[in-house]
């Protein structure tokens, strides 16, 4: 049988755990989160894997290295190709994709020109380097997000 002090601590712990979980999720309730799914088109082969990054941070786009909260996926390439980022809090996001055909975990280049496929949300244009976050950004609100990202190849 536990002491009254120990029982108060257990009661406090069972109250704080849900509160801590709520805070860790940024205060977002399930009603403020939505599913994000991407269909990938124009893959030139089913070799390797697709590396995907979903971020809210303009400074972390397009590789997500500077965003510890980014959702990153590595999925074996297949046809049809669909990526599920799961349920994310409402907000403004951008997605970048790489068709890592040799499965080495990075975008291979030759004289700074990509040798593997790439794609961005909103089909953001590439001009002298990857697009800016604002060009690829989209809103996640109450409705589930389903989008298509076209893979592009230069070499």
Amino acid 4: pLDDT: 52
3-state helix, strand, coil in the chain (%, to 5): 20, 40, 40
Task: Assess contact for 16 and 59: CB atoms under 8 A.
Answer: no
Which range of residues forms the domain containing residue 55?
A: 28-150
Q: What is the CATH number of the domain that holds 133?
A: 2.60.40
11 lies in a domain?
Answer: no
Quote the number of domains for the chain.
Answer: 1
Rounded CA-CA distance 141/150 in Å is 23
Q: Of 40, 58, 55, nearest to 118 (Cα)?
A: 40
**pTM here?**
0.79
DSSP 137: -
pLDDT exceeds cutoff 70 at 21: no
- To the nearest whole percent, how much of the chain has pLDDT over 70? 80
Return the sign of the alpha-carbon dihedral for residues 28, 31, 35, 36: negative
């Amino acid at each position: 049988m536990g002491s009254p002090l120990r029982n108060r601590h257990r009661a406090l712990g069972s109250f704080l755990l849900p509160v801590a979980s709520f805070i860790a999720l940024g205060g977002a309730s399930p009603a403020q989160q939505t599913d994000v799914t991407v269909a990938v088109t124009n893959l030139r082969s089913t070799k390797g894997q697709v590396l995907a990054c979903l971020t809210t941070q303009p400074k972390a786009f397009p590789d997500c290295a500077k965003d510890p909260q980014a959702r990153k996926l590595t999925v074996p390439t297949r046809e049809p190709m669909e990526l599920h980022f799961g349920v994310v809090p409402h907000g403004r996001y951008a997605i970048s994709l790489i068709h890592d055909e040799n499965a080495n975990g990075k975008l291979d280049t030759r004289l700074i020109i990509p040798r593997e496929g790439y794609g961005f949300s909103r089909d953001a244009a590439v001009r002298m380097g990857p697009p800016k976050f604002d060009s690829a950004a989209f809103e996640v609100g109450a409705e589930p997000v389903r989008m298509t990202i076209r893979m592009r190849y230069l070499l």
